[in-house]
Every structure is written in C-alpha cells, then in structure tokens.
C-alpha cells in the first residue's frame, strides 16, 4: 500500500506541479494516473521512488515514511520502467537486465541466469540476450525495460508512459503482455499515461488528474464510464461525444453491438454464469 497525505510539490522556479494530493494506492493491483501533459502525473509517480521529493505532506509505503528512507536503497526495492526504455547503450540486453541485482551483490552468473528467465517472462527470445539496445526494435527495447524493472522482484513497479513511444500495433501487444504478466505476478503497479483507453484497459483503479495533481475522479473503468463525475471527465473519457456509445442492431437473426463509426463491436448474448 502506498499512501499520499496532502502531498505538494513546488519546483525551485515556482511552478506548483502538485497541490495537496492525497490518495491510497492498494497493493497488488494496477493503479493508472491519467491526464493531459502538465497535470503532475509523472511528478507524483517519481515521488514514490524519491526521484522527486515533495515540498509538503508525506508519503508512506506500508508503514514506512519514505522521507526517512535512503533514496538509493528505496529505489533498489522499486522497479522503474520509462518511456524511452532508458537502457544503458553500452551494455548488452542481459547486462542491462542484471544491472540492479548485481549492484546489490548478486553474483554475475546467478544474475544472468535470472535475467534469462525474465526475458522469457516478458516474451523476448533468449537469443537477443547478447545484443545491444540499439540492435533491438522499439518494442523489444521496452520489453527489456520491463524485464529490468522486474529484475529485483520488486513489490512495486512504476511505469512512466512505458508504451508511449511505440507504434499502435506493438503498443497493443505490450499492453496484453503486461496484463498477462500482472495476472501472474500481481505486483503493485503504478502506471502513468495520457491515453484514457490504455488506462481503462490496464487499470484496476483509474485516477483522472487535472493540472496541479488534482484528482477529478478515481475508480474502476466501469464506475468512471457509467457515472462520470463531471463534464471534464465525461469529455475526457469520450462519454459526451458518443465515442463510447454502442447501439444494438439485428443482423442475420443475431443481436450485435455497433460502434459510432458503424463497425460491429461484438455480438450480444444473454449473461451466462461464469465458469470461475
């Protein structure tokens, strides 16, 4: 559990990026911060591993006030995945993934063996282990970034627009991969994006932010789409412009749902008791 209590951040140039932000992020779920650029979402994310220190309020991870923890030790407990992979260009894929474990004293052979397993986890061919980042595609680099974030088997994984710079097809693949990994590992993931569809797809909890880190609405995708808190949210999630409206039509004796552009979104069925 990560708890923000009345957290604010004023940068030295006077910009108030985050103003009185309070939120409890539950463990072992994915929480997504979504908002347009400048809403403070990245700043809030980076406060969790003390890449940014708040100028007011406090942040607790479980029972620890993180202001009392050594930043380096804290960061080694928290996975971090960023937009442009941030891989070390002079190190091979396997060395990149093994970097943090080796900093904490894990033997090279053990760290490399674990790193190879992680390449499997993120769906990368082990044959790529000895390549350099520049020899990989953007999507492959992001997978290495995720593997590196998971290398220390952290409880918390911070992801700062990790799929923002890859093309839409690869992005969809990576999103599905993340859902698969999360269903297996159940980490506390804090994810930042400006893409509301990505937020709804990945987030157990979605937090919509306005500039200054003000929470406009927080809840599950269901809750937000079915009951937007105000016009800002309704606009943001596309509930006002009919983007999410589906109409039911009869086609060849079956009832289908049709999206606003006239494409068929799916077939309607009566609800059935689930197997699980």
Using CB under 8 A, list all residues that contact another protein: 46, 49, 51, 72-76, 80, 82-92, 99-100, 103, 132-135, 148
Collapsing DSSP states into helix, strand and coil, what is residue 43?
Answer: helix
When the beta carbons of 187 and 200 are compared against another protein, the nearer one is 187
When the beta carbons of 159 and 174 are compared against another protein, the nearer one is 159
When the beta carbons of 20 and 83 are compared against another protein, the nearer one is 83
CA distance 67 to 1: 16
CB of 135 to another protein, least distance (A): 5
CB of 112 to another protein, least distance (A): 17
Do residues 56 and 6 make contact, with C-beta atoms less than 8 angstroms apart?
Answer: yes
When the beta carbons of 105 and 262 are compared against another protein, the nearer one is 105
CB of 270 to another protein, least distance (A): 49
CB of 63 to another protein, least distance (A): 21
CB of 43 to another protein, least distance (A): 14
CB of 251 to another protein, least distance (A): 44
Do residues 87 and 142 make contact, with C-beta atoms less than 8 angstroms apart?
Answer: no
When the beta carbons of 125 and 235 are compared against another protein, the nearer one is 125
Q: Taking the CA of residue 85 as centre, how many other CA atoms within 13 Å lie in the half-sphere pointing to its CB?
A: 21
* Sequence-separated (6 or more) residues with CB below 8 Å from residue 63: none
CB of 177 to another protein, least distance (A): 20
What the block records as the tokens of 19 is 């103003």
When the beta carbons of 13 and 250 are compared against another protein, the nearer one is 13
Burial 141-161 (b: 16+ CB within 10 A, else e): bbbbbbbbbbbbebbbbbbbb
- DSSP code per residue over 93-147: HHHHHHHHHHHTT--HHHHHHHHHHHHHHTT--GGGGGS-GGGS-HHHHHHHHHH
When the beta carbons of 70 and 176 are compared against another protein, the nearer one is 70
Helix or strand (DSSP H, E) at 168: helix 168-185
DSSP letter for 24, please.
Answer: E
What the block records as the tokens of 80 is 């971090």
Strand partners, 266: 257
């Amino acid at each position: 559990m990560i708890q923000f209590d009345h957290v604010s951040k004023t940068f030295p140039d006077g910009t108030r990026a985050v103003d009185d932000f309070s939120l409890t992020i539950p463990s072992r779920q994915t929480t997504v911060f979504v908002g347009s650029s400048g809403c403070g979402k990245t700043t809030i994310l980076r406060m969790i591993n003390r890449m940014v220190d708040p100028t007011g309020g406090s942040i607790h991870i479980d029972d620890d006030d993180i202001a009392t923890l050594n930043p380096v030790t804290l960061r080694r407990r928290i996975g971090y995945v960023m937009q442009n992979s941030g891989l070390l260009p002079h190190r091979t894929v396997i060395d990149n993934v093994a970097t943090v474990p080796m900093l904490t004293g894990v033997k090279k052979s053990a760290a490399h063996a674990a790193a190879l397993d992680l390449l499997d986890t993120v769906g990368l061919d082990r044959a790529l282990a000895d390549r350099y980042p520049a020899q990989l595609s953007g999507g492959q680099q992001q997978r290495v970034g995720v593997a590196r974030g998971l290398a220390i088997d952290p409880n918390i994984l911070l992801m700062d627009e990790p799929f923002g710079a890859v093309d839409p097809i690869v992005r969809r693949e990576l999103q599905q991969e993340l859902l698969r990994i999360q269903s297996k590992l159940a980490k506390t993931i804090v994810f930042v994006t400006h893409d509301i569809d990505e937020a709804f797809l990945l987030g157990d909890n979605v937090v919509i932010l306005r500039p200054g880190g003000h929470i406009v609405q927080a809840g599950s995708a269901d809750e937000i789409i079915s009951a937007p808190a105000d016009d800002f949210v309704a606009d943001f999630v596309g509930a006002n412009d009919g983007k999410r409206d589906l109409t039911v039509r009869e086609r060849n004796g079956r009832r289908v749902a049709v999206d606003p552009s006239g494409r068929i979104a799916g077939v309607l069925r009566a609800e059935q008791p689930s197997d699980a």
